[in-house]
A and B are shown apart, each in its own frame.
Chain A
Amino acid sequence: DTAVSQTPKYLVTQMGNDKSIKCEQNLGHDTMYWYKQDSKKFLKIMFSYNNKELIINETVPNRFSPKSPDKAHLNLHINSLELGDSAVYFCASSQGAGGSGNTIYFGEGSWLTVV
């Protein structure tokens, strides 16, 4: 019954590898997001998808690519992983854009460690 679910929850991988994090929401929302929480616990938006179109991309390296097969899914692909990519990645969703006044719902996070 989880509203926003993401997998895997924990991921440890070596530098240079390519990995994906999957996200699904069952709320019927039309906007999904990826946020990154760094080692200092600072949350920052990476991507926003509305109706399967990328709306924003906040200075994220092009090694990161969001892919949305449908309105309920927004997966995050990361190529050539670097040590600095180690962080917690949160998926989120809302009805309409976040600024429309609707609450944004977050998944429980995916802990990525690059060694």
Chain B
Amino acid sequence: KQEVTQIPAALSVPEGENLVLNCSFTDSAIYNLQWFRQDPGKGLTSLLLIQSSQREQTSGRLNASLDKSSGRSTLYIAASQPGDSATYLCASSGGGADGLTFGKGTHLIIQP
């Protein structure tokens, strides 16, 4: 059974810093991996989706990498802003209609 772990559970950094959020998964036979953002009292917003055949995806200041062999993914946020404060979740898909297996998230605070 797939297990997804996110480290750190919480992170607080000053505005402007570059930062890395980590995600690891136990079963490397994933179909894809997604990074989501969740704001308090809100649903999930998809940030990046990496197919199993890809190594990374970029969107603006965000870059997500995937290393299936080591069971790891990272989300890199460049030049952080207070508006980036949220909980970031990674989730893996094993294919089929089994939905996503989520990590418990990293609660990120960017200090102005």
- Which residues of A come within 8 Å of B, CB atoms? 4, 31, 33, 35, 40-45, 48, 50, 55-56, 90, 92, 97-101, 103-109
Which residues in A have their C-beta under 8 angstroms from that of B87? 41
Which residues in B have their C-beta under 8 angstroms from that of A104? 34, 46, 99-100
A101 adjacent to B49 (CB under 8 Å): yes
Given that A90-B44, A103-B46, A108-B43 are known contacts, is A98 also in contact with B104, CB under 8 Å in the complex? no
A99 adjacent to B102 (CB under 8 Å): no
* Residue from A50, A99, A108, A109 in contact with B93 in the complex, judged by beta carbons closer than 8 Å: A99
Interface majority SS (helix, strand, loop, mixed), chain B: strand
A103 adjacent to B34 (CB under 8 Å): yes
The interface size bin for chain B is: 20 to 34
A108 to B42: give the CA distance in the assembly, Å.
Answer: 5
* Residue from B46, B51, B94 in contact with A105 in the complex, judged by beta carbons closer than 8 Å: B46
B104 adjacent to A48 (CB under 8 Å): no
A27 to B43: give the CA distance in the assembly, Å.
Answer: 17
CB-nearest residue of chain A relative to B46? A103
A55 to B96: give the CA distance in the assembly, Å.
Answer: 9
* Residue from B31, B32, B97, B102 in contact with A42 in the complex, judged by beta carbons closer than 8 Å: B102
Given that A104-B46, A108-B43 are known contacts, is A98 also in contact with B93, CB under 8 Å in the complex? yes
Which residues in B have their C-beta under 8 angstroms from that of A100? 31, 95
* Residue from A33, A92, A99 in contact with B94 in the complex, judged by beta carbons closer than 8 Å: A99
